Amino acid sequence: MTADLFETVPGVRPSREAMADGAVLLRGFALPSESDVIGALREIIAQAPFRRMFTPGGHQMSVAMTNCGSAGWVTDHSGYRYDGIDPDSGKPWPSMPPAFRELAVRAATAGGFENFAPDACLINRYTPGARMSLHQDKDEQDFAAPIVSVSLGLPAIFLFGSPKRADKPRRYRLEHGDVVVWGGPSRLFFHGVAPLAEGEHVLMGRQRINLTFRKAR
């Protein structure tokens, strides 16, 4: 049978791994959509280039960011927020491409969250040395909706904590094509990314890009 044939080919069939209650790692889930997603990403960054934003405390982030969708996450001296306007261009963020939305909705469904309706996609770019310290994502209105993350390019060590900042995080290696759905109790867990190691990815070059789909409003 065709299905059996595919199941014997290593790397074709995505796997599923529970990370916590409500958090599911779907290894390779984005691989079949890889070329559509990378093509759409190129168009977004032509309209809304990556930029390294400043935290309210005045530190410049090592991760460069942009957004697509009707809301985008921004940080500056006045705080963290979702805004419909790109502060660098003064124009709305690029709309969310169908290839992005469809991938996120399929992943949410596979993770057990039906009717996911993301209105924001934060796009993070890590170059070697870039990191994200432990934090919670609390700027969204509705914590019942999951967050879906898609990893592209160089692998990263993802740090996955608990509801308490002080708990030692577990480490997961996230690779090109991996998708994680974070919902339920895990939605407010502390998490971060260890400094990116040097490397060169065949499709993405010397960087890691992470898409996080959110219901911001």
Give the CA angle between residues 107, 186, 207 to the nearest 5°: 60
Question: What tokens were used for 7?
Answer: 């199941």
- Binding ligand MD3 by CB under 6 A: which of 33, 66, 186, 207? 186
Give the range of 2-10, 40-48, 105-113, 185-193 binding ligand MD3 by CB under 6 A: 185-193
- 3-state DSSP of 102-156: HHHHHHHHHCCCCCCCCCEEEEEEECCCCCEEEECCCCCCCCCCCEEEEEEECCE
What are the tokens at 49? 């280039």
Q: Does 213 bind ligand MD3 (CB under 6 A)?
A: no
Q: Does 215 bind ligand MD3 (CB under 6 A)?
A: no
Residue 124 vs 207, nearer CB to ligand MD3: 124
Q: Does 140 bind Fe ion (CB under 5 A)?
A: no
For 93, phi then psi, to 5°, come to -60, 155
If we measure between CA atoms, which residue out of 172, 29, 52 comes closest to residue 108? 29
Work out the burial of residue 193: count CB atoms within 10 Å of its CB; fewer than 13 is exposed, 13-18 middle, 19 or more buried.
buried
Candidate segments 4-12, 101-109, 183-191, 198-206, binder of ligand MD3 by CB under 6 A:
183-191
Please, which of residues 70-129 interact with ligand MD3 by CB under 6 A? 122, 124
**187 lies in the binding site for ligand MD3 (CB under 6 A):** yes
Contact mark string toward Fe ion, 109..138, x via CB under 5 A: ----------------------------x-
- Regarding 66 and contact with ligand MD3 (CB under 6 A), the answer is no
Question: Is the distance from CB of 65 to CB of 54 less than 8 angstroms?
Answer: no
N- to C-terminal Cα separation, the chain: 45
Site string for Fe ion, 40-79 (x = CB under 5 A): ----------------------------------------
* Residues at the site binding ligand MD3, with contacts judged by CB under 6 A: 122, 124, 132, 137, 147, 149, 180, 182, 186-187, 189, 191, 193, 210, 212
